[in-house]
Amino acid sequence: MTDQETPLRVILFEDSILLREGLVRLFAEAGFETAGAFDDAEDVVARTRDAGAQVAVLDVRMPPTFRDEGIRAALAVRAALPEVGVLVLSQYVEGVYARELLGAGEGGVGYLLKDRVTSLEELSAAVRQVGRGGTVLDPRVVQQLMRTGPDPLGALTPREREVLESMAEGRSNVAIAGQMGIGVGAVEKNISAIFAKLGLEDSGTAHRRVLAVLAYVQNDPRP
């Protein structure tokens, strides 16, 4: 971050005091500004709005019942403040809520598992990605979201698999069309078929593209 750049403003909702204070310090080391840190998810929309936060980081299970307060708070932020990125950081995969979170609106969204975040760099990159409007998902979360069998790629035609492979390499639809010598419309039809066969409902093309690529990375048998 240069001197001219404004620090990313993050608001944190985490009931564990040790983790909460630790994350505040990690955010500071990453160059973020913690606009607020709370041990419950009460008044989450008002707190996030008043803090002028650009990213909200929330646990799933928070007081008073320690069931789904945090994830429901994340959904509330997504609905009321679409300009704010939402990053769920939890020990648990709540598959139904995760799917709803992805389909709740536009803007950045992420779902990471605490015990699988291995470095400050990984976490700070995820926060920045969500702050830019991107999507960050742990592969285990993706597994819960996939509704197909153990080999979700098995239903794809060779052409669809080739398109998905190109998507995984980061190519745009135009680049895929040029590489394969087909029209952009044909690429789009193949991508729509891929989404349908992988059981990815229309929750925003960008999010579905990420899920499809992650499914490919996880299930492609080649090294």
Residue 78: is its pLDDT beyond 60?
A: yes
Q: Which residues, 6+ apart, have CB-to-CB distance to 22 below 8 Å?
A: none
The answer to whether 193 and 160 are in contact (CB under 8 A) is yes
Bridge partners of residue 9, in order along the sequence: 33
Write out pLDDT tens, residues 119-131.
888 899 999 999 9
Query: Counting Cβ atoms within 10 Å, is residue 33 exposed (0-12), middle (13-18) or buried (19+)?
Result: middle
Q: How far apart are CA 13 and CA 74, in angstroms?
A: 10
Bridge partners of residue 85, in order along the sequence: 55
Q: Does 188 or 153 have the greater pLDDT score?
A: 188
What pLDDT score was predicted for residue 124? 93
Q: Which helix (H) or strand (E) holds 87?
A: strand 85-90
3-state secondary structure at position 77: helix
Tokens of 148: 């197909």
Q: How far apart are CA 160 and CA 163, in angstroms?
A: 5
Q: How far apart are CA 74 and CA 68, in angstroms?
A: 10
Q: Which amino acid is at 104?
A: A
Q: Kindly state the average pLDDT of the residues 191-200.
A: 86
Q: Which residues, 6+ apart, have CB-to-CB distance to 53 below 8 Å?
A: 9, 10, 11, 35, 36, 84
Bridge partners of residue 38, in order along the sequence: 13
pTM of full prediction above 0.75: no
Instruction: Answer left, alpha or beta for residue 179, where phi above 0 means left and psi between -120 and 50 means alpha.
Output: alpha
What pLDDT score was predicted for residue 140? 76
Prior bond of 64 cis (ω within 30°): yes
Confidence class of residue 65 from pLDDT cuts 50, 70 and 90?
confident
Instruction: Answer left, alpha or beta for residue 45, where phi above 0 means left and psi between -120 and 50 means alpha.
Output: alpha
Of the chain, the percentage scoring pLDDT greater than 70 comes to 84
CATH class of 9-145: alpha beta
3-state secondary structure at position 74: helix
What pLDDT score was predicted for residue 218? 64
Question: Is CATH 1.10.10.10 the right assignment for the domain spanning 158-219?
Answer: yes
Domain residue extents for the chain: 9-145, 158-219
Q: Which amino acid is at 106?
A: E
Q: Which helix (H) or strand (E) holds 206?
A: helix 205-219
